[in-house]
Amino acid sequence: MFVITQAFAGHLGDLEFAGISIANNVIVGFDFGLLLGMASALETLCGQAFGAKKYYMLGVYMQRSWIVLFICCVLLLPLYLFASPVLKLFGQPDDIAELSGKAAVWMIPLHFSFAFQFPLQRFLQSQLKNMVIAWVSLVALVVHIFVSWLLVYQLQLGVQGTAMTLNFSWWVLVFGLLGYTICGGCPLTWNGFLHRSLFWPLGIHHTLCCFRGHALLGELVLQNTHLNDWESQERRNCTGCFVHMHDHKWLGADDSSSFLCRNRS
C-alpha cells in the first residue's frame, strides 16, 4: 500500500512525490519497524499458550499488547508532530521537509492503527489462520487502490489525499481482522474484552523483552567461552528456566510450574 501511495503521489509532481516518499520511508518506516519489533514478542507468548491449550490466554495477551503499543504510539507522537524540524536538522531541503511534515501529521491515524493491527496479526498467525489475514489484506489492497483513485484523481486532495488513503486502508485492515476475531472466528481464544487485561502491570511486558535479550546474550557468551560441557549445560538450563518462569508466572499463566519442569527435563 505504501508503494501504491507513492505511485499516485508521483502523478502530483516531483515535490509531492519527494515529500510523500520521505514521510513513508523515514517517519513511518522507523515507526513501523519499532512497533512491529515490539509486537513480535506476542508470537512467543501466543504460541506457548496455544501449545499448552490455554486458549483464553491468547486473547488476554493480545489485549495487553494493544495497551502497551497504544502507550508507545502516544510517546512516539512527537516524531510525527515535529517531523519538519527533524528532517531539516538532518539536511533535507526546506520545501521537502515542510511538505513531509504536513504529510506526517495527516498520517497520525495510520500510526495508531499499527498498535492494533500488529497484535491482531500475531494473534491469528499463532492459530494458523494465515488465509484469513491474506484475504483481509487483499480486500484492504483493493479498497486502497479505489480510495487513492477517488481522493487523488477525482477529488484532487493532493498530498493530504494520499495520506488519507493510507489511514483509511490500514484501518480497514484492522477492522477486518478484528471483525473476524470477535464475530465468531476465534471461539476458543477470544472471550471478549477482559478486565484482567486492563489491571495488569504493563511494565512487565517491556521487562520480558529485556530478559529475553539478556538470555540470548548469555547464550552467545557461553558459546564463546572455554568452559567444560557440564558447566555450560547447567548455565543454559538455569537461563532457560528463568526465562520460562518470567513468561508464565508474571504474565498470568496458571501452570508455570509445569512449563518449568518441562524445560528442565
- What cell was used for 105? 501529521
| Amino acid 198: pLDDT | 56
CA dihedral 62, 64, 68, 70 (to 10 degrees): 70
| Amino acid 199: pLDDT | 52
Q: How far apart are CA 149 and CA 162, in angstroms?
A: 9
- What cell was used for 84? 519538519
| Amino acid 3: pLDDT | 84
**What pTM, to 2 d.p., does this model score?**
0.71
Tens digits of per-residue pLDDT, 90-146?
888 888 899 999 999 999 999 999 999 999 999 999 888 999 999 999 999 999 999
Most confident of 83-97, 191-205, 215-229, 235-249: 83-97
Spatial contact of 97 and 157, defined as CB atoms under 8 Å apart: no
Tens digits of per-residue pLDDT, 8-21?
888 888 888 888 88
With a CB cutoff of 8 Å and minimum separation 6, the contacts of 256 are: 244, 245, 247, 248, 249
- What cell was used for 131? 488465509
| Amino acid 230: pLDDT | 39
With a CB cutoff of 8 Å and minimum separation 6, the contacts of 263 are: 237, 240, 241, 244
Is residue 246 over pLDDT 60? no
Q: Where are the chain's structural domains? A: 2-185, 201-264
Mean pLDDT of 171-186: 91
